[in-house]
A and B are shown apart, each in its own frame.
Chain A
Amino acid sequence: MPKYFDPHIHMLCRTTDDYQNMAAAGILGVIEPAFWQGQARTCVGSFVDYFDTLLGWERFRASMFGIHHFSAIGLNPKEANSPSIAAEVLDILPRYLGRDGVVAVGEIGYDDITPEEDLFLARQLELAKQFNLPVLIHTPHRDKIGGTKRTLAVIREVGIAEHMVIIDHLNEVTLPLVLESDCWRGHSVYPNTKMSEQRMVALLQEYGTEKMVVNSAADWGISDPLKVPKTGQAMRDAGFTDAQVEQVLFHNAVDFFAQSGQMDKQIVSTPLAIDQRRQWQNNSALRGQEPVVE
């Protein structure tokens, strides 16, 4: 079975069954970018608790099922539109960007493409430069072409090295725009919207595998945490070799985020040894089960 890595998934929204199924399907590690909680946050404390949970409890929970867990920390595009809270969030970001397991600034970018989103995207790109961290950029659902062009323009204005940036949720019309840059290319394979396995395969056939990255972007909505291995199957069905599958669905993602210095490819290439006797702040994911110890 090829090795898989899901570089964009919101595991805090998912169940322990998902972790078990992902591990069984060959997913060795995940990156969980900070994102919008489905409704507006009302104070900076909400972000503090969220970021701490990603780096604490959720990382521990993933380890209970043998999955390496890393985070991207940042202010979500939608949330940039509450300027007073957004400014406070930017003030607390430095305390997280150097923490263990933080491999990128993200997901940041555009939603409505407002002046506030412009400002906080640029400021977070500056922070990424300071911390020498990769950046995960979300492209908007509406005016996607305009938003992707604007994203590329801001990257150039700020002067961050393009090879440190991955632009995500690309599709048939936005991928060619990013191909003209040195940025990495992210694609979210979703049950209905964004991108399907078959369309992803078609893009790989047309544009090749270099810097191409695939994720599930699974969250609390209707989404599928097994879309990375399912894309692997679609690639094999279309004639891609196992080595090509692993290049796109493991190595590319790990190589990009390993630029953070926070991720050792050799370690991530091996399943995390499970020891379910461990606890996090006296809490366990077990509910009366016999702990698994490998």
Chain B
Amino acid sequence: MNLENSLEIKHQALIDLQEYFIKHLEHALLPWWQQALDQIQQTPDIHKVMQLSSQCKRYFNDDPTLSLYNNLVWSPLRLARLLLLTQALIQQPVDTQQTFLHQAFAWVDDQEKISILKVINWLDNSGCCLDLVQQAGRTSNSQLFAAIALNNAYPMHHYTERAFHQLILKALSMSLEIQHMVGLAEHRGPVLNQLALELLEEQLAADRAISDDLIHLVAFSLLTSAQRKYLEDLCLQRRLAPIWQDHLVKVRGSERLIVS
């Protein structure tokens, strides 16, 4: 068995998800759900998953009514489809799970891809599907991209510094709420400061509104003196919102405290 490429699935998280789903399931739907799981258990292949997944729409609604402890909102339909797929996944031999996940990802539609990506950190704790996730992130579908970028620890654990910075910049360009990026704080530093200030310079040169969330990229205490002077000048010219000035003042204040 080749364990080098195994996914390291977080089984307990999936069990919790399944229990949560059943707890909120209408009583009348339980028999259908149970027989669907039985079918997957007997034939845990991608064709069976697709067949049952297509039937889910007849039984479950797509209203986002299920809210989970990890801050993700699900509809019964999307959660049912995901659980069928993960049930088949965990029944695969460990050394073929990665291949199965790649195949499933290629076959499903964007909504199902979003569901998989939301829990990819549970499905692939080892990071061996990094390539799949990064390819998926090349989408222009902001919902699909948000599934990777927001409330998801996978990029923080597995992306390179450079790839994480690109993720932040793309999230910003898609006007996503980047405060919900897991690991953003840990990635603030001189490189991100430079990228943020270059973007700021571009937006100012084009006479565009400065992205509201751009400020969340900046580690003010790590700005070089030239960068700080640049921002202070822009504040004096009233080209930046007052919150930028507030941050600059706060950093100056804490530096004085350290000196005294």
Contact = CB atoms under 8 A, between A and B. Distances in A.
**Bind each other:** yes
Interface of A: 38-40, 42, 78, 81-82, 111-114, 141-146, 171-173, 195, 199
A145 B202 contact: yes
Interface string B122-140: 0000000000001100111
A277 B200 CA distance: 54
Given A40-B135, A78-B138, A143 B166 contact: yes
B206 interface: yes
B163 interface: yes
Given A81-B135, A111-B138, A145 B206 contact: no
Nearest to B195: A143
A173 B198 contact: yes
A171 B165 CA distance: 22
5 contacts: A38-B140, A81-B134, A112-B138, A146-B195, A199-B207
Nearest to B139: A39
A145 B169 contact: no
Given A39-B139, A112-B163, A171 B173 contact: no
Residue among B163, B173, B206, B207 facing the most chain A CB atoms (10 A cut-off): B206
Interface string B156-191: 000000110110011001000000000000000000
Contacts of A142: 166, 169-170, 173
Contacts of B195: 143, 146
B135 A173 contact: no
Interface residues of B, number: 20
Contacts of A173: 198, 201-202, 205
Contacts of A145: 198, 201-202
Given A143-B166, A143-B169, A199-B207, 19 more contacts: A38-B140, A39-B139, A40-B135, A81-B135, A82-B135, A111-B138, A112-B138, A112-B163, A113-B166, A141-B173, A142-B166, A142-B169, A143-B165, A144-B202, A145-B201, A172-B202, A172-B205, A173-B202, A199-B206
A145 B194 CA distance: 10
Nearest to A112: B166
Contacts of B134: 81
A219 to B, nearest CB: 11
Contacts of A143: 165-166, 169, 195, 198
A115 to B, nearest CB: 9
Interface in B110-158: 134-135, 138-140
Given A146-B195, A173-B201, A40 B169 contact: no
A227 B166 CA distance: 30
Nearest to A82: B135
